[in-house]
A = this chain, B = another copy of it.
Amino acid sequence: MTDDRHDDLTEEEEVFFDSVDGVQSTTTIADEELLDDINVLVDARSTAALMNILTDLHSADIAAIINELPEEEARYLFELLPPEEASEVLLDLHEHVREELIEELSATRLTEIVEELDSDDAVDIVAEMDEETAEQILDTLEPEESAELRELLAYEEDTAGGLMATEFPVVEVHGTVEHAIDAVRMIAEETPDIYEVYVVDEDGTLRGIVDLKDLLLVRHGTPVADIMDAEVISVRTDVDQEDVANVMRKYDLLTLPVVDGENRPVGLITFDDIADVIHEEAQEDIQRMSGILDDTDTSSGVFDIFRGRLPWLLVGFAGELLAALVLSSFEAELSRVIAAAFFIPIIMAMGGNAGIQASSIVVRGLATGELALSRTFRRLSREFMAAVLNGTICSALLFGVVYLWIGDTYFGLTVGLSLLVVITNATLVGATVPLFLDRMKIDPALATGPFITTSNDALGLFIYLGFLTLIYL
C-alpha cells in the first residue's frame, strides 16, 4: 500500500484518503486540496458551496469525509445531503459514526432514509436504532414495507436471512421472456441492481434462474423454461453467513437465492454482501489470533480498545502464573544451574511459535471448509513430521550455541533435546486442539488466541526443566 503521491506532501496535506495511484474516476475524486476546502467550508458553514461540491462526490467518499469530522460537523454535513444520497452515505460510514448520527437524526429524516434503501440495508440501519425510534420509524413506513422489515428483523444478523434483500424479480415457469422482463420492470424502480430473474412453479418453488443477458438476446415469446438454468444452488434462511460466503466462493456465484423450508425464494444475497462477510470473518479470525475480542477496529476509542484486549490478557496472565508455579517447583534445580534460566525464553518462544503456526493453518482450513474431517489423520501426521524436521534443525543449532557458550556438552544436549520435544509437542497441541474443539462443536478459532500459546508455555517449561532434572542433574 505505498503511495508515491504522498512523498512530496507535507504532514498537514496527508489528509485521510489513502489515495491509490492508478485508480481513477470520471467524477470528482476526493483529493487533499478538495478536502482542505471542505474543512474550511464546514467551519464557515457555507452551505451552498458545500452542496455544490457534494453533488459531484461518490457516496463512499462523502462517508470517508464525514468519518473524519467531529460529531457536530459530521451531522451538519450529513444534513445537507438529499435523502437518496444520505442513505448511501449512511451505509458507508464507520459503525460508531453511524450510530452517533442515527441517535441525533429526527424520525422524519430517518424514515426518509430508510425508505430509500433496499430491504437488506434498511433492516441493518433499523437494527442499529434504539427500540423506541425503530418502532416509531416502522410505524411511519408504508404497511407493506414495514411488514417486510419486521420480518427481516426476526432473522439473526449473521445468517442468510439477515444478509438477504427481499427485492427480486420472479416469473412463473410457464411464462415467456416478456413476463420476465415485466417482472424486472416492476422492481426496477425499487432497486437498481438486478442481474437475474428467479423462475418458480405454481407452488412458488424455485425451479431455475434466467440471466438478464439471455432475456436480451432471445426472440420475443420464448418460454422462460427454454432459457432458464435449472441447476440452482440455494440456501435456507438459517444458514450461517460464513457458510454462505464459502458456497458463493466455491461455486463462483454472483447472487444466491435464499429459500424458506418449502424451497420458495424469499430473498437474495449479492456478491457485495459477501465481500464484506469474507472481510469481516477474516478480520474476526485475525483479532481472535491476536487475542482481541471481536468488536474493535482501527477507529475504536480508548475504552473499547482496553475492553477488547483485557480478557485475553487475563487468560494469558492466569496461564503464565501456572508457568511460574512450574518454575518454582524446580527452584532447587534452577539455583544449582542458573544458566538453565537463560534458555527459558527460547524454549517458551519456540514452542509458542510452532504451536501458533500449526493451529492457525488448521483453524483457517476448518473455517473455509478446505480441511475436512476425514483428513485429520493425514494432517496430523504431516504436522508431526514437519515438526520433527524443524525441531531437529533448531535443536542442533541450540546445542551448538550452548556448547560454544557454556562449554558443557551434556547440558547442551539436554537443552537441545528439550527444544526438539517442546517444538514437536507444541506443534501437535496446536494442530490437535482446534480439531478437537471442532468435534466438540466449539469454535476452533478459540485455540489460536493466547490460550494455546499459554498452555504451550507451561507445558514447554515443564518438559525443559523435567529433562534437566532427569537427564542432566
Contact = CB atoms under 8 A, between A and B. Distances in A.
A217 B188 contact: yes
B278 A217 contact: no
A319 to B, nearest CB: 7
A328 B206 CA distance: 72
A471 interface: no
Counting chain B CB atoms within 10 Å of each CB, the highest count among A217, A298, A314, A328 belongs to A298
A193 B271 CA distance: 14
A361 interface: yes
Counting chain B CB atoms within 10 Å of each CB, the highest count among A25, A259, A345 belongs to A345
Contact of A249 (B279, B291, B356, B375): B279
A341 B334 contact: yes
Copies in the complex: 2
Contact of A394 (B22, B317, B365): B317
A346 B367 contact: no
Interface string A292-310: 1000111111110110011
B394 A353 contact: no
A470 B389 CA distance: 43
Nearest to A323: B345
Given A15-B374, A216-B184, A320 B338 contact: no
A123 interface: no
B275 A275 contact: yes
Given A233-B25, A335-B335, A353-B312, A361 B297 contact: yes
A223 to B, nearest CB: 17
A124 interface: no
Contacts of A310: 390, 393
A298 B25 contact: no
Q: How large is the interface on A (under 10, 10 to 19, 20 to 34, 35 or more residues)?
A: 35 or more
A26 B289 contact: no
Contacts of A18: 369, 372-373
Interface in A346-378: 346, 348-350, 352-354, 356-357, 359-362, 364-375
A76 interface: no
A165 to B, nearest CB: 13
A276 interface: yes
7 contacts: A23-B236, A25-B232, A297-B370, A306-B385, A306-B386, A312-B353, A313-B353
6 cross-chain pairs, A with B, having the tightest CB-CB distances, nearest first:
A282-B282, A298-B365, A320-B346, A22-B236, A271-B271, A323-B345
